[in-house]
Amino acid sequence: MPSEAGVPRRTVLTALGAASLAGTLAAATPAGAAALTGTAPSAAAADLPAAAAHWTFDEGSGTSAADSSGNGRTATLQGAAGWDTGKVGAHSLSLTAGGNAAASGPALDTSKGFSVGAWVNLAQLGGYQTAVSIDGKVVSAFYLGLRDDTGTFAFARLDSDATQSAAVAAAASAPTTGTWTHLVGVSDPAAGVIRLYVNGVLEGETAYTAGWAGSGDTAIGRALYGGGHVDQWHGLVDDVWMFPSVLTSDQVAALAGVPVETTTPLLSVDVGTPAHAVSPILPGLMFEDINHSGEGGIYAELVQNRSMMASDTTPVHWSAVGGTTLALDTATPLNAALNRSLKVALPSSVGAGDRAGVANDGFWGIPVRPGTAYTARLFAKASRRIGPLTVAIESADGATVYASAHVSHIGTAFPDRPFELTLRTGSSTPVVGDARLTVTTADPAAAGETLWLQHVSLFPPTYNNRPNGLRIDLMDKLVALKPKFLRFPGGNFLEGNTIATRFNWKNTIGPVWERPGHMDDAWGYWSTDGLGLLEYLEWVEDMHAQPVLAVFAGYSLKGEHVTGDALKPFIQDALDEIEYVTGPVTSTWGARRAADGHPEPFPLEYVEIGNEDWFDSSGSYNERFAAFYDAIKAKYPHLKLIASTSVTSRTPDLIDEHYYLAPSAAQASTHKYDNRDRNSTKVFVGEWAAQEGRPTPDLNAALGDAAWLAGLIRNSDQVLMECYAPLFSHVKNNVWATNLIAYDNLTSYVSPSYWAQHMLTSRLGNTVLPATARALPGLATVATRSGNRLYLAVVNSGTEKLSVPVELKGLAKGVKRQATATVLTGPSRTTTNTLTEPDTLVPRTSTVTGAAKSFTSTVPPLSVTVLELVLT
């Protein structure tokens, strides 16, 4: 018997405290390398425990398959079931449409520990195909076979005998047709897991504690779901074993007929033969105005509803000071865009020290800091010349003035340009989040008069001191990610609920007081469009990134869409937009850009046509994409055009795929692109996130994100670009649950997912190295190299410390003993960062020793680790 009989061989050591992070590498065990090439004698059947059933399918004729375990579970062939050449012995069971073999009753008790093994050979890929199962009443008690959702072999169980989602131990390797593969599923209630072994190697393991007894027949070549026979197996099945016990990994190796040494855990990295280049434009950012990401977010404007356009009936966010009466006045517009103003009826009490005017409450308060210069801009006029007009940042109750400035006089007409004032706080001004902005007068001449205000704006210092600019703390966090691109302006924000509320870029350029703004009805608030096309482009410029410009493509969220001639103006809008971005100052729209303050054209390579057009149930995207494609390519043949869903009318340069996943699904999807047809259209994963945590992801989601991103990097010959979404949430307006970065009006923090992405994209080489993880279920990895630096990322989503034997193949010389380990980990899956505790989860970098051609890396539970090794 194997020395560890009854105990699966595992890489799991003991639970790890945070203090154990030091010394991540342990010296290599010489046996680790030797195990790669060694051969072991095949295990004898005597090594296996007593079986509950065993069908050899060696009969080769007739409709019965005997049970050689001696338990009398003869299986009867039904439908299109027959015989073919065997993998073990002379014959196997051959199944096509509707064919299966079934033995009466359950061959074993699935509420207890059990194992089931079979040789399988697929005639076709795709769909759910179950090789072995035991019926319940509604669903099978287990499924061993191929799954459609993972696209891999898997062992799956449901929590009860009812239609519901399954716990899935999925393979890490891709299935192929016409080859024999050995599968073993193990249900281990004592360990609380189910496992899948492929060709003797542990490839999948997932938590499962339910355990219930299937009371129906034992089936080979089909399953039960929703009370019906499903999951037809197409191909061959041979040598099916059922054991009423939990097989050890050595016993599984014996059953598969492979040397034990070839099934031990190993992470093998081929240093000498890079797989392909890391896409040079892989990591980017996606932005749309959601959760007050723009208004009240990165767009630094502090006044909410500065343009009085947010409501047609009420001057929302404005309140009376000193007994004034407020109203929206459409008879007194500022201009055609801001076609109304705030009318302030001043009381007769004004004067003699009594002030009157208005206050704005900002985005959940106006933030105040000491030693800071704020810029106010406003249009004001009155029914007679009055002055001074005081603009102040003051406490919510008006008792404390933090900063103020004055317009000496205002006349009876709006000026051509806004009054501009600087308000400075003193060095001892407190940090306050709930201040207000007031505009008042105490001029006795104003008593009983009327004041009109429009475009009342207040900016703090901005990133790169841009006058209509962005919040510094948020920009710092983005710049630290070194994004290669910014995808903007959406997302649903691009589309609008209706065509009228789309991002109409022509309304977002020019002086901000000439922009009408629009309802961001996808996310429920007013957009001044102060963050307009030019501001997006300057944002990109400030990050040293490139734009991925999403153009409106004639479809809005609620289904409104246009085709044919009606689409032409939108195509022209897109062409004009591209000209505004890239055209010389001699072009119409290039000249507009220059007039707006940016004569230099912006670089542009990628344009996305629409957003998530799979929602267009009318099926018009094929036609719409072709129309945009033809027009844009005719004028700008060098531009790469991204389709927002699959199209057949034209071949897009890239296709945008979006994935919002549960953390466990994100972890499991690390292999999603591994087996992609390398000749198919390249992918832009333009939105993705493991969703858990509000307003930002918790550690569990970050682990899912890291595993998913590792897969994208590994496959960055296919996935050329990726960006997480959404990027931002204001903590007071968290309409979309899980976002990368959150903030209030004063401070901001980053999530563990931010750190995971930062780790994987900042410690990244320029070529991907082939890396194979064997018998390391749940571990996601990616290895890259630049020159003499090798970066090995390992994501351990499990709750136990893992000891990972690493082998570096193809080394020209060696590797320095000293390496750097950067680790992100935390005590539980739900641990997270918050506004008040922003640094609970941050990566820690330390020097470790013990790196060698073969070494063992010990990774903490629930962790992302990036090792930086120096090749000699």
Maximum pairwise Cα distance, the chain = 111
Which residue from 685, 721, 859 is spatially nearest to 781, judged by alpha carbons? Answer: 859
Assigned token pair, 524: 């429920």
Q: Which CB atom, from 250 or from 687, has the smaller least distance to ligand AHR?
A: 687
> Helix (H, G, I), strand (E, B), or coil: what is residue 141?
strand
Q: Which CB atom, from 611 or from 667, has the smaller least distance to ligand AHR?
A: 611
For position 492 contacting ligand AHR by CB under 6 A, the verdict is yes
Q: Which one of residues 119, 243, 628, 736 is an interface residue with ligand AHR (CB under 6 A)?
A: 736
Which pairs from 262-265 meet CB under 8 Å and 24+ separation? 262/35, 262/36, 262/40, 262/200, 262/201, 263/197, 263/200, 263/201, 263/202, 263/774, 263/775, 264/9, 264/35, 264/774, 264/775, 264/805, 265/11, 265/774, 265/775, 265/776, 265/803, 265/804, 265/805
Question: What's the one-letter identity of residue 489?
Answer: P
Q: How far is the CB of 557 from ligand AHR (least distance, A)?
A: 9
For position 490 contacting ligand AHR by CB under 6 A, the verdict is yes
For position 501 contacting ligand AHR by CB under 6 A, the verdict is no
Q: How far is the CB of 559 from ligand AHR (least distance, A)?
A: 15
Residue nearest to ligand AHR (CB): 491
Window contacting ligand AHR (CB under 6 A); options: 113-121, 342-350, 459-467, 490-498: 490-498
Assigned token pair, 299: 């767009």
For position 695 contacting ligand AHR by CB under 6 A, the verdict is no
Q: Which one of residues 288, 295, 520, 608 is an interface residue with ligand AHR (CB under 6 A)?
A: 288
Q: Which one of residues 293, 468, 611, 825 is an interface residue with ligand AHR (CB under 6 A)?
A: 611
Q: Which CB atom, from 689 or from 790, has the smaller least distance to ligand AHR?
A: 689
For position 616 contacting ligand AHR by CB under 6 A, the verdict is no
Q: Which CB atom, from 492 or from 757, has the smaller least distance to ligand AHR?
A: 492
Helix axes 568-582, 588-595, angle to 10 degrees: 50
Window contacting ligand AHR (CB under 6 A); options: 68-76, 243-251, 264-272, 489-497: 489-497
Give burial (CB, 10 Å; 0-12/13-18/19+) of 566: exposed
Q: How far is the CB of 742 from ligand AHR (least distance, A)?
A: 15
Q: How far is the CB of 701 from ligand AHR (least distance, A)?
A: 15
Tell me how far apart the terminal alpha carbons of the chain are, to the nearest angstrom. 44
Q: Which CB atom, from 118 or from 655, has the smaller least distance to ligand AHR?
A: 655
Window contacting ligand AHR (CB under 6 A); options: 199-207, 387-395, 470-478, 485-493: 485-493
Window contacting ligand AHR (CB under 6 A); options: 336-344, 487-495, 589-597, 602-610: 487-495
Give burial (CB, 10 Å; 0-12/13-18/19+) of 368: buried
Residue count, binding to ligand AHR (CB under 6 A): 11
- Is 147 within 8 Å of 162 (Cβ atoms)? no
Q: How far is the CB of 492 from ligand AHR (least distance, A)?
A: 4
How many helices (H) and strands (E) the chain has is answered by 11, 54
Q: Which CB atom, from 217 or from 687, has the smaller least distance to ligand AHR?
A: 687
Q: Which CB atom, from 115 or from 645, has the smaller least distance to ligand AHR?
A: 645
Q: Which ranges of 512-617 would DSSP assign to H, the alpha helix?
A: 533-542, 568-582, 588-595
Q: How far is the CB of 837 from ligand AHR (least distance, A)?
A: 26
Burial 802-832 (b: 16+ CB within 10 A, else e): bebbbbbbebeeebebebbbbbbbbeebebb
Q: Which one of residues 612, 613, 616, 657 is an interface residue with ligand AHR (CB under 6 A)?
A: 612
DSSP string covering 795-816? EE-SSS-EEEEEEEES-SS-B-
Q: Which one of residues 151, 726, 765, 860 is an interface residue with ligand AHR (CB under 6 A)?
A: 726
Q: Which CB atom, from 35 or from 290, has the smaller least distance to ligand AHR?
A: 290
Distance (Å, rounded) from C-alpha 342 to C-alpha 332? Answer: 9
Q: How far is the CB of 502 from ligand AHR (least distance, A)?
A: 13
For position 529 contacting ligand AHR by CB under 6 A, the verdict is no
Q: Which CB atom, from 143 or from 736, has the smaller least distance to ligand AHR?
A: 736
Give me the residues paired with residue 91 across strands: 85
Under DSSP, the state recorded for 90 is: S
Distance (Å, rounded) from C-alpha 381 to C-alpha 281? Answer: 51
- Residues between 184 and 223 that touch ligand AHR (CB under 6 A): none
Distance (Å, rounded) from C-alpha 251 to C-alpha 117? Answer: 11
**Residue 27 CB: number of other CB atoms within 10 A?**
13
Q: What is the 3-state secondary structure (H, E, C) of 276-306?
A: EECCCCCECEECCCCCCCCECCCECCCCCCC
- Residues between 340 and 399 that touch ligand AHR (CB under 6 A): none
Assigned token pair, 618: 């009318």
Q: How far is the CB of 13 from ligand AHR (least distance, A)?
A: 40
Burial 740-761 (b: 16+ CB within 10 A, else e): bbbbbbeebbbbbbbbbbbbbb
Q: Which CB atom, from 687 or from 807, has the smaller least distance to ligand AHR?
A: 687
Strand 654-661 and strand 640-643: the pairing is parallel
> Helix (H, G, I), strand (E, B), or coil: what is residue 685?
strand
Q: Nearest 5°: phi and psi at 870?
A: -110, 120
Q: How far is the CB of 607 from ligand AHR (least distance, A)?
A: 16
For position 491 contacting ligand AHR by CB under 6 A, the verdict is yes
Q: Which CB atom, from 496 or from 652, has the smaller least distance to ligand AHR?
A: 496
Contacts of 651 (CB under 8 A, 6+ apart): 681
**Order of strands, sheet of 741-743, starting from the edge strand that comes earlier in the sequence:** 728-730, 741-743, 748-750
* Unique residue bearing structure tokens 């120096």: 870
Strand 266-270 and strand 802-809: the pairing is parallel
Binding characters for ligand AHR, 31-70, by CB under 6 A (x = yes): ----------------------------------------
For position 469 contacting ligand AHR by CB under 6 A, the verdict is no
Q: Which CB atom, from 175 or from 496, has the smaller least distance to ligand AHR?
A: 496
Q: How far is the CB of 857 from ligand AHR (least distance, A)?
A: 35
For position 725 contacting ligand AHR by CB under 6 A, the verdict is yes
Window contacting ligand AHR (CB under 6 A); options: 204-212, 404-412, 484-492, 674-682: 484-492
Q: Which CB atom, from 204 or from 693, has the smaller least distance to ligand AHR?
A: 693
Q: How far is the CB of 594 from ligand AHR (least distance, A)?
A: 32
For position 231 contacting ligand AHR by CB under 6 A, the verdict is no
Q: How far is the CB of 364 from ligand AHR (least distance, A)?
A: 22
Distance (Å, rounded) from C-alpha 132 to C-alpha 668? Answer: 23
Window contacting ligand AHR (CB under 6 A); options: 195-203, 477-485, 486-494, 674-682: 486-494
Q: Which CB atom, from 258 or from 685, has the smaller least distance to ligand AHR?
A: 685
Rounded to 5 degrees, what angle do the CA atoms 175, 665, 146 make?
25
Distance (Å, rounded) from C-alpha 331 to C-alpha 449? Answer: 17
- Is 155 within 8 Å of 144 (Cβ atoms)? yes
Q: How far is the CB of 528 from ligand AHR (least distance, A)?
A: 19
Question: What's the one-letter identity of residue 492?
Answer: N
Q: How far is the CB of 736 from ligand AHR (least distance, A)?
A: 6
For position 687 contacting ligand AHR by CB under 6 A, the verdict is yes
Q: Which CB atom, from 570 or from 724, has the smaller least distance to ligand AHR?
A: 724
Q: How far is the CB of 727 from ligand AHR (least distance, A)?
A: 9
Q: How far is the CB of 614 from ligand AHR (least distance, A)?
A: 10
Binding site for ligand AHR (CB under 6 A): 288, 290, 490-492, 611-612, 687, 725-726, 736
